[in-house]
Chain A
């Protein structure tokens, strides 16, 4: 350490140094973007999304008689291809959210975080907002990039100018769903504090439970299980991105409420644990 330059400079005193919500958001942004794991997750999401969308588009064009379909029908195919990889990338979104929290617990960083901002609700909220915003923006960008090869293969323009909603709406809801999956992972992180535990719980909720739901018939005495499974995060997200009026899907408002419910439950549970347990 520098030989007795202990005339502690007082620059920190002169500025308007205090906590604000915006500053805590900025700190959480710095924290998220200065970890390699974040960038690796984004790269894998991008590669998987564009790659799978291209393959799905190729299989669709081989299966469908694209020459005789209307522009709207073709746009529908492009949208389906672009959104299809969410089945896999949702797990990465969830894991990224989980690690954003459990990485702080496993390294002890959480103690620095909570001494810098002792109001734990603010920490929870800003972390959730930043993780959700990152996944929303990244997904949106990746989906737009994916439309280019998908549209080229299916043989239409990336966005149907006559009805841009056919592609835009599922893409927006898809990005929103990715943000929701990340917040679900983050909530498991706060609830369990352990990386493997939080990721396992996230995979269970996002991936395994919908499969369990499919094992039950949609009619008869046990049908309530398959009906309830429609409200699982992944199923609700699918309801948002399938063509309107598809069979076995929730209506868009109900699906949005279901996703909001998962976010609210996750954040409330996290808040209950975070405020009461010692860090």
Chain B
């Protein structure tokens, strides 16, 4: 469990993280979302003691990172920026990390095998591709078989097989009761991976909710209805909260009424339906709706 209380970080007069409080629960994959510059990486760096909070505190399983006697066993961390000496081979990097805790060298070989970098383990890390570097970072995070995983953009640069491996791995780890905090900008990937989502924007928590609840409350569910007697049906379902828009002749989109209700009404009046499709919004829709005002670096809309 990761607990942040009033966590604040200022760099000069810029506030990167602004009085943030949250709890990351064990046994779940928690997605950490937010636009670039929202404070995700800074928050993760404060969790593992690389950045000192200006105010507030953050603990992992009740302990400050700096006070842990076996931090690699408690927390495995993959940071966004590279954290490997380019002149050292992957295996020697892992050996040096493992040595601090007396982790046996067979565990080094294990994580090399697990992350699929066996063929390049004796090459210098500076020659690694983005994906291979990412796998090495994940291998380092797994060295101590940690109870908590903090992964900043773990699938960045990975091939589809690697992306799927990370998804399955973190799901498995959470299934074992571990705590997983994961950031990513790939919404479709996050939608498949996370149980719970914390959204940051401009250094503040914008949302902290189970994934499906977040999607439900930040997107609208629409129902596509196709019928040869559409006009007749529309007049039957009309109501104060119901919004109907015609898409093409015989096809309408309904907001504010469940598909089951529309189907029932049609059946009562023996109106034939050729299509009745409920569509929920995606995590991406919810995310964009939520962070619309909090995006710091806005891309120009393509006309």
Interface residues on A, range: 35 or more
**Is the C-beta of B22 less than 8 angstroms from some C-beta in chain A?**
no
Residues of A near B96 (CB, < 8 A) are 27, 30-31, 34
Select which of B71, B87, B88, B93 is within 8 A of A118 by beta carbon.
Answer: B71
Are B85 and A104 within 8 A (Cβ)? yes
- 18 contacting pairs across A/B (C-beta < 8 A): A6-B169, A11-B104, A11-B106, A13-B73, A15-B102, A17-B70, A17-B144, A18-B102, A19-B71, A23-B101, A27-B100, A30-B96, A107-B85, A108-B79, A115-B48, A115-B65, A116-B72, A118-B71
B65-77 interface bits toward A, Cβ cutoff 8 Å, 1 = contact, 0 = none: 1101111110101
Residues from chain B with a CB closer than 8 A to the CB of A24 are: 100
With beta carbons under 8 angstroms apart, the residue of B52, B84, B92, B173 that contacts A34 is B92
Chain B residues with Cβ below 8 Å from A208 are none
Say yes or no: A13 contacts B50, CB within 8 Å.
no
Min CB–CB distance A91 → chain B (angstroms) = 21
| Chain A residue, CB-CB nearest to B91 | A34
B102–A116 CB distance below 8 A: no
Residues of the B chain whose Cβ atoms lie less than 8 Å from the Cβ of A279:
50-51
Q: Decide: A112 and B140 in contact? CB cutoff 8 A.
A: yes
Chain A contacts for B55, CB-based, 8 A: none
Distance of A115 Cα from B97 Cα, bound (Å): 9
Contacting residues, chain A, for B115 (C-beta < 8 A): 1
CB <8 Å contact, B68 and A17: no
Q: Is the CB of A11 within 8 A of B110?
A: yes
Distance between B49 CB and nearest chain A CB, rounded to angstroms: 5
Minimum C-beta distance from A107 to chain B (A) = 5
Residue of B85, B168, B176 touching A109 (CB-CB under 8 A): B85
Is A20 located at the chain interface by the 8 A CB criterion? Answer: yes
- Chain A 118-147, CB-CB to B under 8 Å as 1, else 0, gives 110000000000000000000000000000
